[in-house]
Chain A
Amino acid sequence: MKAVAGTAKYLTLVVASIVTLLPLGLILFGSFKTNQEFLSTNPFQPPADWFNVDNYVLAFTRGGMALAFVNTALIFVAAIAGTILIGAATAYALDRFRFRGRSVVLALFLLATLVPGVTTQVATFQIINGLGLYGSRWALILLFMGTDIVSIYIFVQFMRSIPRSLDEAAMIEGAGHLRIFFQIILPNLKPAIATVVIIKGIGIYNEFFLPYLYLNDPDKLPISTALFAFKGPYGSQWEAICACVVITIVPILVLFLFLQRYIYNGFTQGATK
């Protein structure tokens, strides 16, 4: 009985792994095939030449994938810096000060978690357009850092674990609040920052809807929209699309292999806090 249960356990794990990996594997196979080969061979047949990188070359030269990585990085850096500053500042103010209106602000943030961003997109579009930010990377940066209530929550939660005695000691030495914020609070928030960088970083890297709606200049497109745009003129060259897909997955795979533990922790903490 026990042996059966043990076998069943491994069987389900193997089946789940196959279901997960099979579609990815076929994309990898496809990406090394030639156009003729892709059309004429069975998807499970490995490519004739594993060193046929023509499709990858095409993805980089005509698909502008390199530029897309740069664009994603630009947006990522600016949005993440903004998110950290905003989240930490909010947490600092809410946790370390008692002031009139504090409960109102808390309630505002709490209430905001109930509003799914997607419902308000039509109205948000009018605001971004009103600000003259349509077509600009700033639109995305502003939206990424301004609507991320979850990150703010992670900071607020974490702030409680930083002992007040630290700020008080600094205060006695004559430090102002900004100095306390930047020299005491921010460094001590490092674990929260790591969590936010991971969750948000992956979110930004994978985001499609916002850049699709707000960006149009082909030179500004981040990864996901560049991949989508590539499908237009190369819609019939599936082997090239496969290569493009692989290109977008590889960086995140490498990151995952190296930072596994932090990524898991990030998501479990992000979810529970």
Chain B
Amino acid sequence: MTSAPTGLGPVIAAASEPDVARPTRVPGGAGRRSAWYRRLTPYLFLLVPVGLLLLLTYTPVVTMFWYSVTDWDGLDKTKNVIGLDNYVDVFTDPDNLRVFFVSLYYVVGSFVQMALALYFATILSFKVRFRNLWKGILFFPYLINGVAIGLIFLNFLKPGGGLDTVLMNTGLESLIHQWTGDPDIANYSLAAVSVWRYTGLTFVMFLGAIQSISSDIYEAAALDGANRWHEFWSIILPSIRPIVGLAFILGISGSLSVFEIPFVMTNGANGTETFVIRTVWMAFQRNTVGLASAMAVVLLAFVLLVTWLQRRLVPEEEVDLT
């Protein structure tokens, strides 16, 4: 290593100044020495956390902007500034644009996921037999690792696999497709697997929020003669709006960072390449770190925009799940 990345400095300083942190043994902690020591205390506690924050979150953001205007290949000592050429590439090469398009399948998937989660959270928040069993089953897929899920569904969706067998035995042969092989269907299949994986988490978040609604409100509504449907629209949905908003943001950023399922199942081939698969390939196999960084900057800008829009423009009634 030739130059210390920014942010490492303070961390090293923390290690080399152990004496400062030694507490005084003076009872009561009074005295001149402890006065400046007291002032320093919060900084000492924050040295490592802020150091790591700067090193691992902010430095990459800054360097990423810098790489994105160079033609760096990730290896050379020198980087030539080439202006906005990389950005032009991002927006003119259809292969680059396609990854953003592919994430739309997952965005749609995340809406489906939220709708399902909301439905099951609502019915399970009322009296249901075996509630814990249903809850456990619905949630469990979220605990399985992505590679395993990819393999489980490769096995399930392959020609002649579980799904095809089900369709065959229920007289639905006509619905059999190449679930990952047909380019018109592959992205739907992968997005569906993603829904299978994440619905449980959204569901548990919604359920927790619904259950924390005070029972007084229901009782008041019951007096007014509200039925379940009214309860849902006038009590449940408004009460959990913040969580729905959060699930929305998580859904968008999750859709843009899909990696494991398409990577394991199709390796990004057949038009299923996602942002992460493509940038990793660009950066490390094509050695176009500059271009990959420009992609990342565009993505970051996009995520920030969506977050901002969500917080600004979709505040109240607009949280519509259909």
Contacts and interface: CB of A to CB of B under 8 A. Distances in A.
Is there any pair of Cβ atoms, one from A and one from B, under 8 angstroms apart in the complex? yes
Interface of A: 5, 9-10, 12-13, 16-17, 19-24, 26-27, 30, 42-44, 85-87, 89-90, 92-94, 96-97, 99, 102, 105, 108-109, 112, 114-127, 130-132, 142-143, 145-147, 149, 152, 171-172, 174-179, 181, 202, 205-209, 213, 223-225, 227-228, 231, 238, 241-242, 245, 248-249, 252-253, 256, 260, 263-265, 267-268, 271-272
Contacts of B155: 23, 26-27, 30, 43, 238, 241-242
A241 B264 CA distance: 13
Contacts of B256: 116, 118
Contacts of A94: 42, 46
Given A12-B119, A44-B165, A267-B205, A171 B29 contact: yes
Contacts of B153: 23
Given A23-B162, A271-B246, A206 B145 contact: yes
Nearest to B257: A118
A202 B141 contact: no
B90 interface: no
A93 B42 CA distance: 5
11 contacts: A13-B123, A43-B161, A43-B165, A86-B52, A97-B42, A99-B39, A115-B300, A172-B28, A209-B276, A264-B208, A272-B209
Interface in B17-37: 21, 23-24, 26-29
A128 B28 CA distance: 44
Contact of A127 (B55, B135, B208): B55
A210 B240 CA distance: 34
A143 B56 contact: yes
B293 A123 contact: yes
Cβ-closest 6 pairs across A and B: A176-B23, A268-B208, A146-B52, A123-B60, A97-B42, A206-B145
A181 B45 contact: yes
A174 B34 CA distance: 12
Nearest to A266: B204
A89 B45 contact: yes
B190 to A, nearest CB: 14
Interface in B185-228: 196, 201, 204-205, 207-209, 228
Give the dominant DSSP class at A's interface: helix
Interface of B: 1, 5, 21, 23-24, 26-29, 39, 41-43, 45-46, 48-50, 52-61, 63-64, 67, 74, 116, 119-120, 123, 128-129, 132, 134-141, 143-148, 151-153, 155-156, 161-162, 165-166, 196, 201, 204-205, 207-209, 228, 242-243, 246, 253, 256-257, 259-260, 264, 275-276, 279-280, 283-284, 289, 292-293, 296-297, 299-300, 303-304, 307
Contacts of B129: 10
B165 A146 contact: no
Contact of A43 (B140, B162, B253, B289): B162
Given A116-B256, A132-B1, A13 B145 contact: no
A93 B46 contact: yes
Which of A116, A152, A175 gathers the greatest number of chain B CB atoms within 10 Å?
Answer: A116
B311 to A, nearest CB: 11
A27 B158 CA distance: 13
Residue picked from B24, B27, B52, B304, most chain A C-beta under 10 Å: B52
Nearest to A143: B56
Given A92-B45, A99-B42, A122-B293, 5 more contacts: A13-B134, A89-B49, A121-B60, A227-B148, A267-B205
A140 B321 CA distance: 37
Contact of B300 (A116, A124, A132, A213): A116
Interface centre among B23, B53, B128, B207 (most CB of A within 10 A): B53
B134 to A, nearest CB: 5
A248 B144 CA distance: 8
B45 A120 contact: no
B29 A174 contact: yes
Contact of B61 (A17, A120, A238, A272): A120
Contacts of A13: 120, 123, 128, 134
B304 A114 contact: yes
Given A23-B156, A109-B53, A132-B1, A268 B162 contact: no
Nearest to B276: A118
B127 to A, nearest CB: 10
Nearest to B26: A174
